[in-house]
């Protein structure tokens, strides 16, 4: 694993939960709840119908299937064989078409440079040892002028209190140990990595959760969860 930009403990964590990926009441409930929001935002920026799309760190395929449902030709890559097996099985239930592959973003960038109209990398950067490497790979995978979308978690005291203490220990929305504070990325850091990779920032937007209404929304507050839309120059 030393040559691959992945943490074996992180892969094991998600592999152990893979069979629950499509259970909307499971540990993956937040992903099911935010998926319509992030899918609508991505589709509004990139008009996914007919586009060749790559989902990096696709896991069990929640976003990948969502993008396929609006007419995109989707490839999903991940390093968890168990998660990909669940994703492939779910296609029999949903009837969607997604090409799932067990490969790293960096290796796939060597194989398919400049191939995709759109690349998404959501809720993944905070789980890899070298996020800059993943970002650079995403930039190599997209066509010139193509869209690359990221989402991750800001690094500040509010993010620590809400994303870790609140979500994992108080509200029990996520399993304890899902996130490590030191791996969170400030928007300025993500922006710098994107610029270094040849990606131009087009929009930074926050995603917030209201624990009283239990509703997620997009807006100006990027203190905790945020999404970034970039394009390759």
Average pLDDT over residues 152-162: 91
Average pLDDT over residues 93-111: 97
Residue 2 scores a pLDDT above 60: no
Could you tell me the pLDDT band of residue 13, with boundaries at 50, 70 and 90?
confident
| Contact between residue 148 and residue 142 where contact means Cβ atoms under 8 Å apart | yes
Q: What is the pLDDT of residue 226?
A: 97
Q: To the nearest whole number, what is the mean pLDDT of the chain?
A: 92
d(CA 153, CA 32): 18
The strands making up 98-102's β-sheet, listed across from edge to edge, are 98-102, 73-78, 52-56, 116-122, 142-153, 225-232, 199-210, 215-219
- pLDDT tens digits, one per residue of 26-57: 888 888 999 999 999 999 999 999 999 999 99
- pLDDT tens digits, one per residue of 127-145: 999 999 999 999 999 999 9
Average pLDDT over residues 146-162: 93
d(CA 198, CA 178): 31
Q: What is the pLDDT of residue 3?
A: 61
């Amino acid at each position: 694993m030393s040559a691959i930009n992945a943490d074996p403990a992180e892969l094991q964590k998600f592999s152990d939960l893979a069979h629950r990926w499509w259970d909307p009441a499971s540990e993956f409930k937040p992903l099911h709840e935010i998926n319509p929001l992030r899918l609508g935002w991505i589709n509004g920026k990139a008009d996914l119908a007919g586009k060749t799309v790559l989902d990096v760190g696709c896991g069990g395929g929640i976003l990948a299937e969502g993008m396929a449902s609006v007419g995109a030709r989707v490839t999903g890559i991940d390093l968890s064989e168990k998660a990909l097996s669940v994703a492939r099985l779910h296609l029999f239930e949903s009837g969607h078409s997604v090409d799932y592959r067990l490969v790293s973003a960096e290796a796939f960038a060597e194989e398919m440079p400049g191939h995709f109209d759109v690349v998404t990398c959501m809720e993944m950067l905070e789980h890899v040892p070298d996020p800059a490497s993943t970002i650079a790979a995403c930039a190599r995978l997209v066509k010139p002028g193509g869209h690359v979308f990221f989402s991750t978690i800001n690094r500040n005291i509010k993010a620590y209190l809400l994303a870790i203490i609140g979500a994992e220990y108080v509200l029990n929305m996520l399993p304890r140990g899902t996130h490590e504070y030191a791996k969170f990325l400030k928007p300025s850091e993500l922006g710098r990595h994107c610029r270094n990779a040849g990606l131009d920032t087009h929009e930074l937007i926050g995603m917030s959760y209201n624990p009283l209404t239990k509703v997620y929304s997009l807006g100006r507050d990027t203190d905790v969860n945020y999404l970034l839309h970039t394009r390759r120059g």
